[in-house]
Amino acid sequence: MVPFYAFIFLPFIFAIIVPFLYKYLNRQIHTGWFVLLVPLSIFIYLLLYIPSVAAGETYRYTLPWIPTLEINLTSYLDGLSLLFGLLISGVGALVILYSIFYMSKEREALHNFYVYLLMFMGAMLGVVFSDHLLVFYGFWELTSVSSFLLISYWYERRSSRQGALKAMLITVFGGFGMLAGFIMLILMADTYSIRELIANLDVIQNHELFLPAMLCVLVGAFTKSAQFPFSIWLPDAMEAPTPVSSYLHSATMVKAGIYLVARMTPIFGGSSVWFWLVAGVGLITLLYGSLTAIRQTDLKALLAYSTISQLGLIMCLLGVGSLAVYFGPGESGTVFTVATFAALFHLFNHSTFKGSLFMVVGIIDHETGRRDIRFLGGLMQVMPITFTIALISGLSMAGLPPFNGFLSKEMFFGAVNEVSQAGIFGLGSIGVGFPIIAWVASIFTFVYCMIFIFKTFGGRFRPEKLTREVHEAPLGMLISPLVLGALVILIFFFPNVLGKLILTPALTAVLPMMDVTPYDLKISAWHGLNLELLMTFSVIIFGLLLFKTAKRWIVALRGFPQGLMLSHWFNRGIEGTEKLSGSLTNRYMTGSLRHYLIYIFSFFVLLLLSSLLGLYGLHFDFSQDAPIGFFEAGLVIAMIIAAITVLMAGNRIIAIVALGAMGYMISMFFVIFRAPDLALTQMVVETVTTVLFLLCFYHLPKLKKNIERISFKLTNVIISLAMGLTVSLLALSANGHKLFEPITAFFENAYELAGAKNIVNAILVDFRGFDTLLEISVLTIAGLGVYLLVHQRVKRRESNETE
């Protein structure tokens, strides 16, 4: 069987091919049909692993990348990564099928859309299958970059650009925090492998960096999975096309933080801080999302906040389930093992009903031209199939039978009831708050589900409020939500097929210390007349009462001052930062090269000279220095004369020749010090730059004959002397401090280590390979930016001429 890590690269390979397919074949066939082969192939391939993974097997493959730095593409397949891999590829296939009928091949730049989508899919697969912490982080940030491109796909819209920027700022900030946590974990356990971290729990949990590492990792998880207060980016990300929203915010990006928490539970679980943060933040997010969802009039915004709410529910369950690590194998541990099982179950259920609901919203928007509930109503008369899908998925999200959301919601009620009686981590009377908050949030969840279904499809049909003639969506657009809706029902009647083959292996991966095989983890819709069932009945009763009386109280809720919303303060902060940075930039960006050099050199002198003096770094030791010979003294004098010539020259040609002479004399120093490689490199570079200078200056106007002011020259002299003095003192002090063994001997083996006869080239290309690569990348990006600006200017000029 082909190693599964090969399928991580498949989306990236197709991302390179798609632009060519679009260019030559888009007129004949929709590009999405070719892209559909990628997730479909991955999904079918991963299905083949289900029997062996369900039997307890795991797979690990290592593809060497940078062995000397211990950075390899190590992929690990167990129950948890298989669960996420199936969601990423399965829902991805349905989303691409849906997009074929949703995205017009005549009006949309489909090559960009599918390239971004494939990049994101590959990044998500890389996240869930990576066992190497640094590779994990690389894929993690790639999800932020590719989601930025997807959210800003309609970049001509200001709201799309702002939503993409907000999502990227928050998730990348969290990613930096997560990276700091990973580095601390690496320092604690001296390994990059997640598997080996779990094997060295004693070393990690007793280390002083344990708590800081945990907090940093949670920052990354909370930002990516839109937990309160970082949840403000997700509603603005709804500016993306509906297929993107359906994919990113139901099955992939927002689930990355859930995956991280689940994967790190064996390491941090059992800690009181981990429990309170994960379970507490999840519970707050659940309540916040459900309350805010009711206020929305835009269908996508309502689903966005409902996603926040559901993610909070899953996060809370993972926090409660982490108590199994504290109790260990036994009766108490078994109870909380079920909570983790419920988290995985609801994660799968959420992907089915939420993906379907997003597609329903896309259909409504596509067919009516509206997403505002205030203009909709009565759509069940003209869109019966869409209404049926919305009813199934909406009631599942509300937690009603006979739909899969009911099963995992009952397990959620059971978990919060158990944690209220745990009696550890200072829960006591505070633990009662868990079931109360969960119950209140579930009531509001029920209400926003009713609003979504019946305010959109019920009531009077008002075609005059719509911008298009309404009819049922085409069959191609209905296939994907129909498949997800069918899963919603099938899972309710056959939940243990999913539980046995996929969820139980995933549970084993999250809680490897728990022997889950003896435990009865069968999912059942009926557990008798218990507290959970009573909570469900009361949710329905109070939910219906609130829904029926919504006109009386929802206006007050929607009238909540925007100035008190977190998103408002974030936007104000960004605006304030932009104004402040603009003001500062206008002060120092004068357009004068002289001013810029004054700023740079002055800062350099103040920082380094004050550091040398303040830290007592001035130390000179000339005892080991070689005597200064006649040739060295002569070259120094000649260089001084050449430098003065450059300053005093009244002709550019003379200045260029004097500057070149300085460079050639530096190469003579390399010859004297027996560094022929450096001398040759310096001479080649000096020759090329001198020729380029001559070519450029030939086209410039002549120098002005007027004499410059004395103050101008005096400023130059002061800054030049200060700069020269600082660099000289720094070099002499560095030579006088021998804190470490010199690395000269290491580079002398350049031929053995790098196969290079030229030591300078070996340092630039091999020893400093990443540095040089990044420099080239920066220059390439800058070049592309210049090209795009020039290209856009030419296009704008041509469009103005045609008008």
- Looking at residue 461, the DSSP 8-state letter turns out to be -
Mean pLDDT (the chain, rounded): 85
Output the pLDDT for position 708: 47
**pLDDT at residue 562 is higher than 50:** yes
Summarize the confidence of residues 539-547 as an average pLDDT: 92
Amino acid letter, residue 107? R
Output the pLDDT for position 587: 81
Summarize the confidence of residues 415-436 as an average pLDDT: 82
Summarize the confidence of residues 279-283 as an average pLDDT: 92
Output the pLDDT for position 790: 84
Quickly list DSSP for 619-648.
Answer: ----TTPPPP-HHHHHHHHHHHHHHHHHHH
Output the pLDDT for position 703: 58
Check: CB of residue 506 under 8 Å from CB of residue 79. Answer: yes
10-16 own/partner pairs: CB under 8 Å, 24+ apart:
10/38, 10/41, 10/42, 10/122, 11/38, 11/39, 11/118, 11/119, 11/121, 11/122, 11/125, 12/118, 12/119, 12/122, 14/38, 14/118, 15/114, 15/115, 15/118, 15/119, 15/122
Percent of the chain residues past pLDDT 70, beyond the cut: 93
Residue 496's CB is within 10 A of a number of other CB atoms, namely 14
Output the pLDDT for position 221: 93
Output the pLDDT for position 564: 63
- pLDDT top residue among 670 and 122: 122
- pLDDT top residue among 398 and 593: 398
Between 1.10.10, 2.60.40, 2.30.30, 1.20.120, what CATH number should domain 594-736 receive? 1.20.120
Q: What gap in Å lies between CA 265 and CA 285, rounded to an integer?
A: 20
Summarize the confidence of residues 672-677 as an average pLDDT: 79
Least confident residue range of 413-417, 430-434, 659-663, 699-703? 699-703
Q: What gap in Å lies between CA 800 and CA 130, rounded to an integer?
A: 51
Output the pLDDT for position 441: 93
What would the pLDDT profile of 25-67 be if each residue is shown by its tens digit? 767 788 888 999 999 999 999 999 999 998 888 888 888 887 8
**Segments of the chain assigned to CATH 1.20.120:** 594-736
What would the pLDDT profile of 485-537 be if each residue is shown by its tens digit? 999 999 999 998 898 899 999 999 998 877 766 455 788 877 778 888 899 99
According to the per-residue pLDDT averaged within each range, which of 19-23, 537-541, 700-704, 728-732 is highest?
A: 537-541
In this prediction the pTM is 0.82
Least confident residue range of 149-158, 325-334, 526-535, 566-575? 325-334
- pLDDT top residue among 751 and 346: 346
- Which residue has 């205030």 as its token pair? 374
> Sorting pLDDT into bands at 50, 70 and 90, what band is 559?
low
Quickly list DSSP for 603-618.
Answer: HHHHHHHHHHHHTT--
Quickly list DSSP for 662-722.
Answer: HHHHHHHHHHHTT-HHHHHHHHHHHHHHHHHHHHHHTTSPPPP-SPPPHHHHHHHHHHHHH
Least confident residue range of 33-47, 373-387, 455-469, 774-788? 455-469
Find, among 301, 182, 313, 302, the residue nearest to 236 by Cα.
301
Quickly list DSSP for 125-156.
Answer: HHHHHB-BHHHHHHHHHHHHHHHHHHHTSSTT
**pLDDT at residue 476 is higher than 70:** yes
Find, among 192, 205, 211, 312, the residue nearest to 266 by Cα.
205
**pLDDT at residue 720 is higher than 90:** no
What would the pLDDT profile of 205-216 be if each residue is shown by its tens digit? 888 899 999 999
Summarize the confidence of residues 582-588 as an average pLDDT: 83
- Which residue has 């939940």 as its token pair? 495
According to the per-residue pLDDT averaged within each range, which of 18-32, 102-116, 529-543, 685-699 is highest?
A: 529-543
- Which residue has 């939910």 as its token pair? 543
> Sorting pLDDT into bands at 50, 70 and 90, what band is 453?
very high
- Looking at residue 473, the DSSP 8-state letter turns out to be P
Q: What gap in Å lies between CA 620 and CA 622, rounded to an integer?
A: 6
First to last CA, the chain: 60
Q: What gap in Å lies between CA 716 and CA 140, rounded to an integer?
A: 48
Summarize the confidence of residues 637-644 as an average pLDDT: 87
Least confident residue range of 345-349, 669-673, 742-746? 742-746
Output the pLDDT for position 40: 94
> Sorting pLDDT into bands at 50, 70 and 90, what band is 82?
very high
What would the pLDDT profile of 146-191 be if each residue is shown by its tens digit? 999 999 888 888 888 888 888 899 999 999 999 999 999 999 988 8
Output the pLDDT for position 709: 46
Q: What gap in Å lies between CA 543 and CA 450, rounded to an integer?
A: 9
**pLDDT at residue 540 is higher than 90:** yes
Q: What gap in Å lies between CA 267 and CA 792, rounded to an integer?
A: 52
**Segment (H or E) for 63:** strand 59-66
Output the pLDDT for position 561: 64
Cβ within 8 Å of residue 286, ≥6 positions away? 309, 310, 312, 313, 316, 437, 438, 441
> Sorting pLDDT into bands at 50, 70 and 90, what band is 474?
confident
Q: What gap in Å lies between CA 764 and CA 358, rounded to an integer?
A: 51
Q: Phi and psi (nearest 5°) for 298?
A: -85, 130
Output the pLDDT for position 492: 92
